[in-house]
Amino acid sequence: MYELREGKLVLASQDERPQGIKCATFGASRVAERHVAMGDYGGMLTISDLEYGKQQKDNLFSSQAHEGIINTIDGIGGTQGLGNGAPEIVTGGRDGCVRVWDPRVPEAVVSMEPDKNQSGRDCWAVAFGNTYNQEERCVCAGFDNGDVKIFDLRTNSIRWQENCNNAVTSIQFDRPDIEMNKMVVTTLESKFRVYDVRTQHAEDGFAHTGELAHRSTVWISKHLPQNRDIFMTGGGNGGFNIYKYHYPTKRVGRHAEDGSPIGVAGSVELLNSRIISSQPLSSFDWSPDREGLCCMSCLDQSLR
């Protein structure tokens, strides 16, 4: 683990873990706390206090969450500031399972698993959304076969599913703490989709617009916290693009066959594009305080 000393990242003195850390989030921790949830290559989910927990025995929470690697993790309840719902963590693993965890109880509160008669597909992306009051909350998960599924945690059911034709690498709602508005789904083969998730049709689901970018896999997407219509994408070509989403004149239309309400997709405009590395972007984040300030890491072992 690294810590910032005199403006430089240095290796902190801490016991090594038996398995490498694959993913982590502060999402379920309050701003005043330093609790990070981590998923490792052995399928173990742990929550540690970075301020005081210097050894594994100091972990606040630990559970064998998956069989094999935990590919992806997300948290909610701590940083949003509205206090809507319990602090929860969602994990997706190589075993094809998606599980929701409440650190106050030792077992998963929700477990979404593949059918016993089918082999599980790798879950590569998870994201919380629709957390606009104490009752509502959903999880969107993306898999290596291109499936995207939204699980309604209030009704404990699959609300919507679709196949993107390519493996899903990342998912993000424009804001997780409001009623579902839109989300970006990135995939292999240089593609990403922006879904309007405000209006759902019983048969056709959510409207979306697609785009080609980076001439390689689009690995990540992040919305600007100060303006949720602006988002970036990071690609396997070492570049990042800045887009702006434009809403249509009317967001809701009428279905040609049954006349029921159906969403109308908007369009995306490329604002800027830049290649910063010869290697893929591996992570990216915006500053919640200073608009436009961001940090990113690449597989060339650099942090920018």
Element (H, E) at 192: strand 191-201
Domains 1-176 and 181-201+208-304 share a fold: yes
Neighbours of 142 (CB within 10 A): 26
Would you say 67 and 120 are in contact if contact means Cβ atoms under 8 Å apart? no
Q: What is the largest CA-CA distance in the chain?
A: 65
Would you say 204 and 262 are in contact if contact means Cβ atoms under 8 Å apart? yes
Would you say 96 and 147 are in contact if contact means Cβ atoms under 8 Å apart? no
Tell me what percent of the chain is helix, strand and coil, each rounded to the nearest 5.
Answer: 0, 50, 45
Please tell me the predicted confidence (pLDDT) of residue 79.
47
Q: Which residues contact 289 (CB under 8 A, 6 or more apart)?
A: none
Fold of 181-201+208-304: Methylamine Dehydrogenase; Chain H (2.130.10)
Q: Label residue 87 exposed, middle or buried (CB < 10 Å: 0-12, 13-18, 19+).
A: buried
Would you say 114 and 97 are in contact if contact means Cβ atoms under 8 Å apart? yes
Tens of pLDDT along 195-253?
999 999 999 999 999 999 999 999 999 999 999 999 999 999 999 999 999 999 999 99
Please tell me the predicted confidence (pLDDT) of residue 95.
92
Task: Tell me the CA distances in angstroms from 286 to 40, 203, 291, 295, one per residue in order.
Answer: 24, 36, 8, 7
Q: May I ask the CATH class of domain 1-176?
A: mainly beta
Q: Label residue 125 exposed, middle or buried (CB < 10 Å: 0-12, 13-18, 19+).
A: buried
Domain spans in the chain, listed from the N-terminal domain onward: 1-176, 181-201+208-304
Please tell me the predicted confidence (pLDDT) of residue 126.
97
Please tell me the predicted confidence (pLDDT) of residue 135.
86
What's the CA angle centered on 216, arms 212 and 222, to 5 degrees?
70
Please tell me the predicted confidence (pLDDT) of residue 7.
55
Residues of the chain with pLDDT under 70: 1-17, 53-58, 78-84
SS3 107: coil
Q: Label residue 117 exposed, middle or buried (CB < 10 Å: 0-12, 13-18, 19+).
A: exposed
Please tell me the predicted confidence (pLDDT) of residue 80.
47
